[in-house]
């Protein structure tokens, strides 16, 4: 199982929902145009749109690194208007662990699944 899954949880600062949605649309466009290693990139809001979770699946650690690089300043702008809680599922490379250390992702190792 080389695929990596990620859940990005954003708690949106008060009064920043419109800006968040604008940036989210730009992230989606960038990902569609530049990220062939992104297999899933689905955005979900809670009922009052104060939180958003992004469910992501990548072919491997290099695809995650490429995605982060391709987003560029968009991710930085999102981090200014949200509290960010990333979770990573799988076996990330050392390069990915180092590159995302400042974001403090929780990393979960695979145990079992229907299809091993």
pTM: 0.94
Convert the pLDDT of each residue in 24-38 to its tens digit.
999 999 999 999 999
Q: Between 2.60.120.10, 3.90.550.10, 3.30.70.100, 3.40.50.2000, what CATH number should domain 4-108 receive?
A: 3.30.70.100
pLDDT value of position 2: 80
| Residue owning tokens 């250390």 | 101
Please state the length of the chain: 116
Cα→Cα distances 13→19, 36, 43, 56, 86, Å: 10, 31, 17, 22, 17
Convert the pLDDT of each residue in 79-102 to its tens digit.
999 999 999 999 999 999 999 999
Convert the pLDDT of each residue in 58-73 to its tens digit.
999 999 999 999 999 9
**Residues ≥6 apart with Cβ < 8 Å to 66:** 34, 35, 37
Q: Domain spans of the chain?
A: 4-108
pLDDT value of position 23: 99
């Amino acid at each position: 199982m080389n695929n990596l899954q990620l859940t990005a949880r954003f708690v949106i600062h008060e009064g920043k929902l419109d800006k968040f949605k604008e940036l989210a649309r730009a992230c989606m466009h960038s990902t569609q145009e530049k990220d062939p290693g992104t297999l899933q990139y689905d955005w979900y809001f809670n009922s009052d749109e104060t939180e958003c979770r992004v469910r992501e699946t990548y072919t491997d650690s290099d695809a995650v690194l490429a995605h982060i690089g391709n987003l560029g300043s968009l991710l930085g702008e999102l981090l200014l208007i949200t509290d960010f809680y990333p979770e990573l599922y799988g076996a990330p490379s050392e390069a990915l662990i180092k590159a995302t250390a400042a974001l403090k992702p929780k990393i979960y190792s695979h145990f079992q699944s229907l299809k091993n």
